[in-house]
Amino acid sequence: MNAKPFLVIPVVSVFCLGLLAGCASPKHPIAQNPKPPVSLEPPPAVVKTNRLVIHADQPGAEISRNIYGQFSEHLGHCIYGGLWVGEDSPIPNTRGIRNDVVAALKKIQVPVVRWPGGCFADEYHWMDGIGTPTNRPSMINTTWGGVVENNHFGTHEFMDFCGQIGAAPYICGNVGSGTVQEMMEWVEYLTSDADSPMANLRRQNGREQPWKVPYFAVGNESWGCGGNMTAEFCADNFSRYNTFVKDYPGNHIYRVASGGLESDYHWTEVLMKQNADGLKHGGQAMNGYSLHYYTLPTSNWSHKGSATKFDEAEWFNTFRHTLVMDELVTKHSAIMDKYDPQKKVGLIVDEWGAWYDVEPGTNPGFLYQQNTLRDALVAGVTLNIFNNHADRVKMANIAQMINVLQAMILTDNEKMTVTPSYWVFEMDTVHHDATLLPSELQSVDYAFGDKTIPAVSASASRDRAGKIHVTLCNLNPNQSIEVPCELQGAKAQKISGRVLTAPEMSAHNTFDQPDNVKPTEFNAFKVTDNGFVTTLPAKSVVVLEVN
């Protein structure tokens, strides 16, 4: 089939971490469906030149800083060895939490962290993770590697971690194997200041004042590892459990429901309709609806492809799949609009990112993979999509923060390095809580074989100081691309920029060479009468500041 180019660039994605029995290779339900869940073929168009128009005179929604959120699951070395080493470790730490990791995460201004899962959340019982660490019962992490979980990192440790990096906690409650009472009591333990059993238990465990917990997910991937539910059964369970997620004085919880598998639009219809009907009868609101989507180069969950050893065919297919995110966000948003035209319910993309085969010699249940320039562009494109859908996308959490999948940070005992994806998040901090400036992008094609995708991705915003920032991605690994930009309602006086690129598609940072891929100053632009023109290097992410 001959695919032809498409013009505009926003995108969203769905999916959660696959089930794993013991130490076997992870399996995902999508692997059993050979047909792609959504179209990978762009609509027809003929584009011969690039053109970007930014409507600075038509400000859009606020780009929530929570779009740049993180995800930290009890999986592999994300928690243990990643962010937690224990107070007795020779690795410098504060109350058991690595100082180097905290410093790195503060630099990218992490707004929110999702915990404890993922699939792990629906087998996690929070009371096992409180009290004196050495007295906490152990459990088997049946989802991820069949390893023993000693529960030394629990509620108090997670809330301490959030405080150290300045992030809001987003806690995922156990619906799959937990009870309504268990969830209700966890919320009380965390947020109540009353003279009550759970609040007093928190005090007994060393925390006098309640914490602020602004975000709480009622279950995770209820279609699969969270209970293998139908949409109707999930909707009923959400209504039941959500009734007992209480707002105690001084704390208001934003409640997130589990969405369906990727392009399961029926699931979205069911939950949105039930929420709308419930609100008419005084029910508790669903504030957010979860969507998960992972980018696989091969579309084959059994052989996803290498993180570092890939050719241009896999590079190209990675971005064909990354761009599906826009279709998913657009179609789920359309259903949400039908029941929620005022856009009160946020689309929460709380798992997304690139998923490859694990690094050779590592535990297949730990999902450890390297992170290259290709991943930086996956992040750049996806974040542009979320920015452009800021009216509906209110939070996103890349999977995952440390040592798992598309991580920000890799560690090995005392060693630590940040990844190319980390630098995209650092460069894009300029968009946090800024005002979206709607844009129209006409992009030339990047063709490989008989298929094409748009070569350029873009999003723009204005911060509170009035500065305009534009993130541009060039997906073509072989050619630089000139992009003229027309600024409507603003005039460029001065421009500065930064670029993230490298000579090789597979360039990545290692513990011995941590600076292989990092941002540098960028000046390939010039001011024009109606805006500016810039030349994007091949395979690059560029962020421009326009004064």
- Interatomic CA distance for residues 461 and 387, integer angstroms: 9
pLDDT score for 16: 37
- Interatomic CA distance for residues 543 and 470, integer angstroms: 6
- Interatomic CA distance for residues 234 and 246, integer angstroms: 20
Same domain, 472 and 375: no
173 contacts 241 by C-beta, under 8 angstroms: yes
Same domain, 420 and 451: no
Domain presence at residue 247 = yes
To the query of whether residue 351 is one of the catalytic residues in this protein, the response is: yes
Residue with tokens 């992170």: 371
Same domain, 540 and 448: yes
Active-site position among 73, 157, 327, 351: 351
pLDDT score for 283: 64
Domain presence at residue 11 = no
Domain presence at residue 20 = no
Domain presence at residue 14 = no
Q: Name residue 43's amino acid.
A: P
Same domain, 372 and 453: no
Active-site position among 221, 262, 327, 426: 221
pLDDT score for 13: 34
Last residue of a domain, one of 383, 402, 432: 432
Q: Which among 446, 138, 461, 429 has a CA at the least distance from the CA of 316?
A: 446
pLDDT by position in tens, the chain (length 547): 433 333 333 333 333 333 333 333 333 443 333 334 555 555 444 456 899 999 999 999 999 999 999 999 999 999 999 999 999 999 999 999 999 999 999 999 999 999 999 999 999 999 999 999 999 999 999 999 999 999 999 999 999 999 999 999 999 999 999 999 999 999 999 999 999 999 999 999 999 999 999 999 999 999 999 999 999 999 999 999 999 999 999 999 999 999 999 999 999 999 999 999 877 766 678 999 999 999 999 989 999 999 999 999 999 999 999 999 999 999 999 999 999 999 999 999 999 999 999 999 999 999 999 999 999 999 999 999 999 999 999 999 999 999 999 999 999 999 999 999 999 999 999 999 999 999 999 999 999 999 999 999 999 999 999 999 999 999 999 999 999 999 999 999 999 999 999 999 999 999 999 999 999 999 999 999 999 999 999 999 999 999 9
- Interatomic CA distance for residues 87 and 89, integer angstroms: 6
The DSSP code for 372 is: B
pLDDT score for 39: 52
Same domain, 389 and 470: no
pLDDT score for 49: 85
Same domain, 513 and 526: yes
pLDDT score for 41: 53
144 contacts 23 by C-beta, under 8 angstroms: no
Same domain, 481 and 520: yes
DSSP of 303-361: ----SSS--HHHHHHHHHHHTHHHHHHHHHHHHHHHH-TT--SEEEEEEEEE--PPPTT
Domain presence at residue 124 = yes
Domain presence at residue 334 = yes
DSSP of 506-536: T-B--SS-TTSS--EEE--EEEETTEEEEEE
pLDDT score for 281: 66
Last residue of a domain, one of 432, 458, 487: 432
- Interatomic CA distance for residues 173 and 189, integer angstroms: 13
Same domain, 413 and 441: no
Same domain, 54 and 74: no
536 contacts 474 by C-beta, under 8 angstroms: yes
CATH value at residue 507: 2.60.40.1180
For residue 471, list its beta bridge partners. Answer: 459, 543
Same domain, 175 and 300: yes
CATH value at residue 287: 3.20.20.80
pLDDT score for 18: 37
Same domain, 383 and 448: no
The DSSP code for 227 is: T
Q: Which are the contacts of 92, defined by CB distance < 8 A and separation ≥ 6? A: 98, 99, 100
Domain presence at residue 10 = no
Q: Which two tokens stand for residue 479?
A: 């050619």
Report phi then psi at 272, rounded to 5: -70, -40
- Interatomic CA distance for residues 302 and 25, integer angstroms: 8
Domain presence at residue 337 = yes
Which three-class secondary structure string do you get for 5-67?
CCCCCCCCCECCCCECCCCCCCECHHHHCCCCCCCCCCCCCCCCCCEEEEECCCCCCECCHHH
Last residue of a domain, one of 415, 432, 449: 432
Domain count, the chain: 2
- Interatomic CA distance for residues 147 and 16, integer angstroms: 20
pLDDT score for 27: 38
Residue 165's domain comprises 65-432
Same domain, 383 and 410: yes
